[in-house]
Amino acid sequence: MESFPAIAATLEQISPRLRRLREKKNISLAELSATTGISKSTLSRLESGQRKPSLELLLPIAAALAVPLDEIVAAPQIIDPRMPQEPSRSNGRVIVPLSRSQGEPKAFKLIIPATETEPVPRTHAGYEWLYVLSGSLRLILGDYDVILGPGEVAEFDTQHSHWFGSSGRGPVEVLSLFGKQGERIHVRARSKQAALDQHAKRDT
């Protein structure tokens, strides 16, 4: 169920909901067992979450408690999938959040102005994944100094000294995934000399 968090969350609510409904009706486990034919131990495990609920168990319980099944099993709520884009500005960059979840990693769209070309390296905990949508992105990571174009990707440990901005050829649009926790990942980058060689090829 890890791939369907809404369903998993709904199933987790069944156990406490069963207990609340039974106690609201002032029915003991022994009485519910006698009415449904389900053993008291099975009912107890259902209410504690130690037994997975099934229709075979829930239907007679719903009938005995005189409640509709959907009062025990509420359908997962479907929220509007559209993500409102609320851009903000930071040091000249436009930052557009692209994920609603409070968890990690978080997704952003970054619009970096052509004037942001002066490297200001920094370090902090986390991991970052960058995908260039348009423009020419300059990335400095430790001893690497690379240029990434549209469709190119980089990922790196942000505990290493890093900076990224415009190469000076115009504004850059980037998709960014950032998380403070995660597996150690590598950088897809060329050496400084390789970047210079690439520049030379583009200028010829």
pLDDT of residue 55 exceeding 80, the answer is yes
The DSSP annotation for the chain comes to -TT-HHHHHHHHHHHHHHHHHHHHTT--HHHHHHHH---HHHHHHHHHTSS---HHHHHHHHHHHT--HHHHSPPPPPPP-------EEETTEEEEE----SSSSEEEEEEE-TT--S---B--SSEEEEEEEES-EEEEETTEEEEE-TT-EEEEETTS-EEEEE-SSS-EEEEEEEESS----------HHHHHHHHHHHH-
Q: CB of 7 within 8 A of CB of 75?
A: no
Per-residue pLDDT band for 184 (boundaries 50, 70, 90) equals: very low
| Between residues 186 and 101, the one the model is more confident about | 101
Average pLDDT, the chain: 83
Q: What does residue 52 show for φ and ψ, rounded to 5 degrees? A: -70, 135
Estimate to the nearest angstrom the gap between the alpha carbon of 120 and the chain centroid.
Answer: 29
| Of 184, 82, 196, 104, nearest in space to 147 by CA | 196
pLDDT of 193: 45
Sign of CA dihedral 106, 157, 165, 169: negative
pLDDT of 192: 42
- Distance between CA atoms of 179 and 126, rounded to whole angstroms? 5
pLDDT of 201: 47
| pLDDT (tens digit per residue) in 102-155 | 677 889 999 999 999 999 999 988 899 999 999 999 999 999 999 999 999 999
Per-residue pLDDT band for 164 (boundaries 50, 70, 90) equals: very high
Which range among 6-15, 65-74, 105-114 has the greatest average pLDDT? 105-114
| Of 174, 181, 177, 5, nearest in space to 106 by CA | 177
- Distance between CA atoms of 62 and 189, rounded to whole angstroms? 60
Per-residue pLDDT band for 196 (boundaries 50, 70, 90) equals: very low
Which of 17-21, 67-71, 172-176, 194-198 is predicted least confidently? 194-198
- Distance between CA atoms of 83 and 97, rounded to whole angstroms? 9
pLDDT of residue 204 exceeding 60, the answer is no
